[in-house]
Amino acid sequence: EKGLRVSDKGFLNTAVIHSQITYIDGEAGVLRYRQVGYPIEQLALHSSHLETGYLLIYGALPSKAQLKLFESEVMHHSIVHADAENFFRSFRYDAHPMAMLTSAFAYLGSYYSEANPSLQGQNLFTKSDPASLANMDKQIYRLIGKATTLAAMAYRVRQGRDFVTPPSGLSYTGQFLYQMDHLGQEDYRPSPVLEKALDVLFLLHADHELNASATTVLQTGSSLVDPYSAIAAGCASLYGPLHGGANEAVIRMLISIGSPENVPAFLEAVKKREKVLSGFGHRVYKTSDPRSFIIRKTADEVFKVTGKDELLETAMALHDAAIKDDYFVSRRLAPNVDFWSGLIYRAMGFPYDFFPVLFAVPRVVGWLAHWRQMMLQEGGVKIWRPRQIYVGAAKRDYVPTEKRE
Ligand code: SDX
């Protein structure tokens, strides 16, 4: 095939789009959303997840009025149809919450035909038509607002508890924690420290350029399927232990190591490729993942409320040994966003298999930012259809069954 160039396995160093959304400098360990401010630290300190979501999706920090409208629309759309209860109750009692959430996003799309180009036979979202932009915004509000509710429903059904509708006036993470942890106490309110810590974690997980799940959303969305189905596809990609499932894998790894004394033996097993050091390494960051430093600091804030996690000593021993060990240094492997986050979620009482859900929920704003950018791109949407280099069998004739050995 003339003119075809094979990109390395796993799209290594293959740029497939131009984007204005997130900037990463893997060598310098820099992450910037829409190049606002200094690296991610500034947003983590001063912004909120929803304000950052607005920035990612619409390209600029919102005015006070724009933020107020965005927040109220998202919170207004956080309610789901009552039938969703039957949907969640249809799962086996021990279904993985990421399987539930992935399915739930696609299920959600079945309610909104106005968002479904397949039903309308055309691309519904065009920059020039204000009505179509308003339609797009409404789907964006719905997906962000309902992501926490769907996640909380997956959690409640796993805990064998009824679903709860949070009171109005709570923050995005406040209403999420309320739905998760409310056990009938009249005046229950989540801890403000945990609410803020979860908002910082959500903000840090909001977007990360063209990672595997964002690419999946764009690959799927390029066929003009509805945004709910495209987000469901991204959620499926994030479920994997090489991607968003790593935060769950880190905790299981720390439990299996057991204590700081066992760290050297574990690292030897990793070097023999018998084990994987989850939470380390990154396709783009080759010096450090700036998010991991902020999450490490946030962990100390959370531990002041929840008490220190006994796995922290093992995690610190593992971290301190690996960052000095030539095997990892020579392969430029540093802690990534997943190394410390699981300790926070465990200290906050979330079940381990719920950790990837806590990655997927905030990542919805990043996926939507990429999806909206593609829908509104100059020249319209082109379906993503990569080529291949055929290296299979040469031409040969059909052999009837009776003549085959
Ligand atoms: C996320 O892309 C994103 O932006 C993702 C993300 C986001 O915000 O969306 O940042 C979120 O997914 C973070 C990554 C979470 N995954 C993990 O923590 C799982 C453990 N990490 C590895 O699986 C791995 O580091 C990847 C998948 C993250 C990156 O893999 P690459 O870029 O394909 O690296 P590689 O496999 O080519 O590794 C290079 C070398 C290899 O050694 P050699 O064969 O050359 O001798 O490093 C080794 C690898 O074996 N290696 C590891 C390792 N990661 C890479 N060895 C031990 N433990 C590891 N974690």
pLDDT range class, residue 139, cuts 50, 70, 90: very high
- The Cα 289–Cα 341 span in angstroms is 13
The alpha carbon of 130 and the centre of ligand 1 are apart by a number of angstroms equal to 43
Beta strand 30-33 pairing with 22-25: antiparallel
Give yes or no for residue 277 CB within 6 A of ligand 1.
yes
The alpha carbon of 12 and the centre of ligand 1 are apart by a number of angstroms equal to 12
Task: Choose among 342, 360, 336, 246: nearest CA to 282.
Answer: 336
Atom of ligand 1 nearest to the CA of 280: 60
Q: Mapping DSSP to helix (H, G, I), strand (E, B) and coil, where does residue 335 land?
A: strand
Give yes or no for residue 10 CB within 6 A of ligand 1.
yes
Would the pLDDT of 7 be above 80? no
Best of 276, 341, 361, 365 to mutate for ligand 1, by most ligand atoms within 8 A of CB? 276
The per-residue pLDDT for range 37-69, each reduced to its tens digit, is: 777 888 999 999 999 999 999 999 999 999 999
- The Cα 339–Cα 353 span in angstroms is 15
- The Cα 352–Cα 349 span in angstroms is 9
How many CA atoms lie within 13 Å of 238's alpha carbon, on the beta-carbon side? Answer: 37
Give yes or no for residue 280 CB within 6 A of ligand 1.
yes
Helix 246-257 and helix 355-375, axial crossing angle in degrees, nearest 10: 160
Contacts of 187 (CB under 8 A, 6+ apart): none
Q: Name the helix (H) or strand (E) containing 32.
A: strand 30-33
Q: State the average pLDDT over residues 129-139.
A: 94
Would the pLDDT of 235 be above 60? yes
Q: State the average pLDDT over residues 339-346.
A: 94
Q: In the prediction, which pLDDT does 1 show?
A: 54
Residues marked as catalytic: 243, 282, 338
Give yes or no for residue 337 CB within 6 A of ligand 1.
yes
Task: Choose among 379, 279, 297: nearest CA to 334.
Answer: 279
- Burial label for 325, CB within 10 Å (0-12, 13-18, 19+), is middle
Please check whether residue 154 is in contact with residue 357, taking contact to mean a CB–CB distance below 8 angstroms. yes
Please check whether residue 342 is in contact with residue 355, taking contact to mean a CB–CB distance below 8 angstroms. yes
Average pLDDT, the chain: 93
Please check whether residue 155 is in contact with residue 349, taking contact to mean a CB–CB distance below 8 angstroms. no
Would the pLDDT of 182 be above 70? yes
Please check whether residue 40 is in contact with residue 32, taking contact to mean a CB–CB distance below 8 angstroms. yes
The per-residue pLDDT for range 245-290, each reduced to its tens digit, is: 899 999 999 999 999 999 999 999 999 999 999 999 999 898 899 9
The per-residue pLDDT for range 379-403, each reduced to its tens digit, is: 999 999 999 989 999 999 999 999 9
